[in-house]
Amino acid sequence: MPKKNGIPKSILADINKLKTRIASLEKSNASLTKELKANMKSAGDWMKKQEQTIAQMGKKSAKREKRKPSAYNLFLKDKKGALFLVTALEDAVIELKSLHRRLAASGRFSFGPADLMRATLGIEPGAVTPFAAMNDSERRVSVVLDAALMRHETLNCHPLVNTMTTSIAGADLVRFLEATGHPPRIVAL
C-alpha cells in the first residue's frame, strides 16, 4: 500500500473527503444560523406587537372595569407539603413569613413548584386562578379567599390563562368553588 509521510494514501483520501464534508457542513450551518437569526428577529418583532396589543387591551379593560377589583393569586406549599391557593386583592400586602400561622399551616410557606402546579391545578405559572380548583380532582389544594376581596360584589380573575380576564360575582365564585369540592376559607389576610 503506497504511503505518504507514513500514512496510507487511502486513509489520506478519506481524511480529505472528511475535511471537504466538514467544510460543507460548516457552510451549511452558517447559512442555517443566519436563517434562524432572521426568523427569531421576525418572531421577536411579532411578539412585541402582540405584547403591545395585549397591553393596550389591558389598559382599555382596566378603564372599563375600574370598579371591579382584580385578584392576585398565590400557589403555596407548607413544610409538610399541604397545598394552598390564596386569592387576594391585586394590591394586597401579604406577609408570607407569617401567613402560615393565620392559615394554621404546618410551617412556613414556599411557592409551589411549577410541575406541582401543572399536576394539581392543570395551569402554567403566571396563570394561577381560583377557577383552576376544578382541575384538582384529588382535592389536594385548600382555597383561601381574602375577606377584603370578598367585600366586593364583582371580581376579575384569569380564566385558566393569563391573557384574558373574566368577571364573576363573589357569591358565584364561592358557589363554584364549593361545587368543585373546594369550599373556600374566607380569611382576613
In a shared domain, residues 14 and 87 = no
Q: What residue spans of the chain are helical by DSSP H?
A: 9-64, 96-102, 114-121, 147-150, 170-179
Residue 2 lies in a domain: no
Q: Which domain holds residue 106?
A: 71-187
Q: Which of 37-46, 62-71, 111-120 has the lowest mean pLDDT?
A: 37-46
In a shared domain, residues 44 and 16 = yes
- Banded pLDDT at 55 (limits 50, 70, 90): low
In a shared domain, residues 58 and 82 = no
Residue 1 lies in a domain: no
Q: What residue spans of 65-139 are helical by DSSP H?
A: 96-102, 114-121
Check residues 69 and 63 and name the one with the higher pLDDT: 69
CA separation for the pair 113, 116 (Å, rounded): 5
- Banded pLDDT at 68 (limits 50, 70, 90): low
How many domains would you assign to the chain?
Answer: 2
In a shared domain, residues 183 and 120 = yes
Predicted confidence (pLDDT) per residue in 90-137, tens digit:
889 999 899 999 999 999 999 999 999 999 999 999 999 999 999 999
Check residues 6 and 178 and name the one with the higher pLDDT: 178
- Banded pLDDT at 12 (limits 50, 70, 90): confident
The CATH number that applies at residue 110 is 3.90.960.10
In a shared domain, residues 102 and 181 = yes
CA dihedral 134, 176, 170, 92 (to 10 degrees): -20
Residue 4 has pLDDT above 90, yes or no: no
- Banded pLDDT at 16 (limits 50, 70, 90): confident
In a shared domain, residues 55 and 138 = no
Among 63, 81, 107, the domain boundary falls at 63
CA separation for the pair 44, 97 (Å, rounded): 39
Partners of 41 in beta bridges? none
Task: Determine the 3-state secondary structure of 87 from DSSP.
Answer: strand
Q: Which of 15-19, 25-29, 133-137, 147-151 has the lowest mean pLDDT?
A: 25-29
In a shared domain, residues 90 and 133 = yes
